[in-house]
Structure 1
């Protein structure tokens, strides 16, 4: 099924909106505590509880408007439900803080598995957006697999050794900037291995 055209601003809002809302809500509620059913929950737990339906709603809207949701977005939504649910159920913020570790470990593992088979699974997902020669896809996939593995390790270090405030800032801004910076630094590969369009006969 071909994807539908969607306003880029709307698409960006649906993809990044939940993260922005999570950060804003955390800033407002981080120093507060709430009691439900005789159990006390801090602001982080409450914000996590709200983040779960929000990510499901925005993912559903993205699918409805564009007719397509990537496997990465589906995996992210599933892990948010699982680890966010455990965080709220057990009243333990460690589970939600581990979520990025699981996400990036999963992505690195999938890409690494493809590389072991001599394939670039990244190419299957992004070939229409960035037509590259096979060598280019393999280089980009190796780099991205290592990058995701590095982010998984970094997330573990930060949430285990730093404050919740530091982790929220890292999750909201650090991870987003890191992913953006990674692709910005791959211009040499994209240029060197770009597939040149063949001129039509008789043109």
Structure 2
């Protein structure tokens, strides 16, 4: 089994967030342009999506090569980017790519919810070694995460259906990362209260 290798947090962040930032910059630059390719007109959104897919694949492969592994979340995200981004380009329809975050977060919420119904915390299986915590704490955290991801799925679906593409791109680029960061920062008291062992601090 491959072991995960340490890599600079800045390099890891650049590889994970770089494609998203590049998508935002590209969309901001070419959103109002129409590109005619082989007799078919494509919006700037579709063209930038076509460029985003291989960039995401390359960055994921580099991250895999540097660390020795990709998390299940990263793997699932990559697959959905290729599938739904590919459908967006192939069918020349923005809808599929905009639906991708909805499906990702709905899947996360469903998987965590199934674990809760079985009395298990799948989050603990992923993070238990680096953040020892009582079972009760893991269950509470997992329940909160399930609702949080469900909320993100609903928010993404509402924004792309009811608001402009500009609003959706801003939400995807800035709103989702900020929401994720804020959520996990707010779990500090829960983790501290239920932490066990030498890592309680």
If the length of structure 2 is used for normalisation, what is the TM-score?
0.96
Aligned pair count reads 198
Residues 1:170 and 2:167 are matched in the alignment = no
Name the structure 2 match of 1:75.
Answer: 76
Q: Deviation string for 1:137-161 (max 9, x for gaps)?
A: 1100000000000000000100000
Residues 1:13 and 2:18 are matched in the alignment = no
Name the structure 2 match of 1:22.
Answer: 23
Name the structure 2 match of 1:201.
Answer: none
Name the structure 1 match of 2:150.
Answer: 149
Report the Cα distance in structure 2 between the residues aligned to 1:115 and 1:58, rounded to whole angstroms.
33
Report the Cα distance in structure 1 between the residues aligned to 2:8 and 2:90, rounded to whole angstroms.
37
Name the structure 2 match of 1:99.
Answer: 100
Q: Deviation string for 1:7-30 (max 9, x for gaps)?
A: 111011011111111101111110
Report the Cα distance in structure 1 between the residues aligned to 2:72 and 2:105, rounded to whole angstroms.
13
Deviation at 1:128, TM superposition (A): 2.5
If the length of structure 1 is used for normalisation, what is the TM-score?
0.95
Structure 1 segments unaligned to the other structure (5+ residues): 199-203
Q: Deviation string for 1:169-189 (max 9, x for gaps)?
A: 000000000000000111111
Secondary structure in 1 aligned to 2:137? helix
Q: Deviation string for 1:116-136 (max 9, x for gaps)?
A: 111111111112232211111
Moved over 3 A (4+): none
Q: Deviation string for 1:52-97 (max 9, x for gaps)?
A: 1111111111110001110000000000011101100110001100
Structure 2 segments unaligned to the other structure (5+ residues): none
Secondary structure in 1 aligned to 2:6? coil
Deviation at 1:49, TM superposition (A): 0.5
Deviation at 1:195, TM superposition (A): 1.2
